[in-house]
Amino acid sequence: MDALYLLSKAQFHQVATHISLYHEDASPGYRSLAEDCLRLVGLNPSRYVYWNIPNMGTYFGKTVPVDVHGGHVLVDEASAGPAAASFGVLRYAYLSAAVRAKEGGRWRYDFMTMNVTLGVGAAAGFAALSVGRKRWTWMRRHPVGGLAVSLLVFLTATVASRQAIRVLGVGVVTAHNSHKKALTRLNCADCFDDVNSYTAQQVEELQKQELPRQPGMPPPPEEFVRRFERGTQLQVKLLQADIDEVRA
């Protein structure tokens, strides 16, 4: 349900382009459910536009293609029902998306992570320049070279902090927090069983998932395989946390 947190930036912009080209008005049933969920988390439903985006589900993988982004509530109606398999899961997906929207959504996530990485890089670069000029004679005698070294440290620290954010799964932690808040507003006893069954099934499917390989093609690069496995592990970790939350 949090595919936008797991998409790369390029994929995210591809989804945005698809949405802008192929949107249409949502059906009354989906709109009514969305308005109810927005109201439950403290948002004003009249301020949102409700769109059905055909084929948006292809970008979301196995997750329910529902999201609240900016002033728009987005759903792929043809895929959302079969993907959710029950009303409880569909309601949970809307509530999770509404909670994320109230907390700033994908834009806030990108903004915060970008500023954190730039802040770490800038601090490392200035520290390298300051310490280097005090301790290394070469940097005092070669100011341009000293600036080049500090710039290299800045770039290295920025890239390293960005990778650290991905490894630590900050996006997944953000998604888990939105799930916890959504569960408190589910207000449907039977829905908890639906959500638990759905989540357990998702975990089982993810654990069996393998990289697609075409006959006659060389195996994918090792880095790509590691990235795929890491992404799968993060998703499983999130879903397992959801199961524990429902049981609690």
Determine the residue type at 125.
G
Please list, in sequence order, all residues whose beta carbon lies within 8 angstroms of the beta carbon of residue 152, skipping any fewer than 6 positions away: none
CA separation for the pair 57, 75 (Å, rounded): 8
Mean pLDDT is lowest, of 25-39, 40-54, 122-136, 160-174, for 160-174
> Quick one: what percent of the chain has pLDDT higher than 70?
77
pLDDT at 48: 93
Q: Is the model's pLDDT at 1 over the cut of 50?
A: no
Residue 175 burial (10 A CB sphere; 0-12, 13-18, 19+):
buried
**Contact predicate 65/57, CB 8 Å:** yes
Written as six digits, the tokens of 234 are 């993060």
What is the average pLDDT score of the chain?
A: 78
Mean pLDDT of 206-213: 74
The Cα–Cα gap between 242 and 71 comes to 27
Q: At residue 10, does pLDDT exceed 80?
A: no
Q: Which residues contact 128 (CB under 8 A, 6 or more apart)?
A: 149, 150, 153, 154
- Amino acid occupying residue 185: R
Q: Give the C-alpha separation, 75 to 164, whole Å.
A: 32
More confident residue, 218 or 54: 54
Mean pLDDT of 215-228: 75
pTM metric for this prediction: 0.63
Question: Which has the minimum average pLDDT: 38-47, 152-161, 219-228?
Answer: 219-228
- Per-residue model confidence (pLDDT) at position 2: 47
pLDDT, tens digit, 9 for 90 and up, residues 103-122: 765 555 666 677 778 888 88
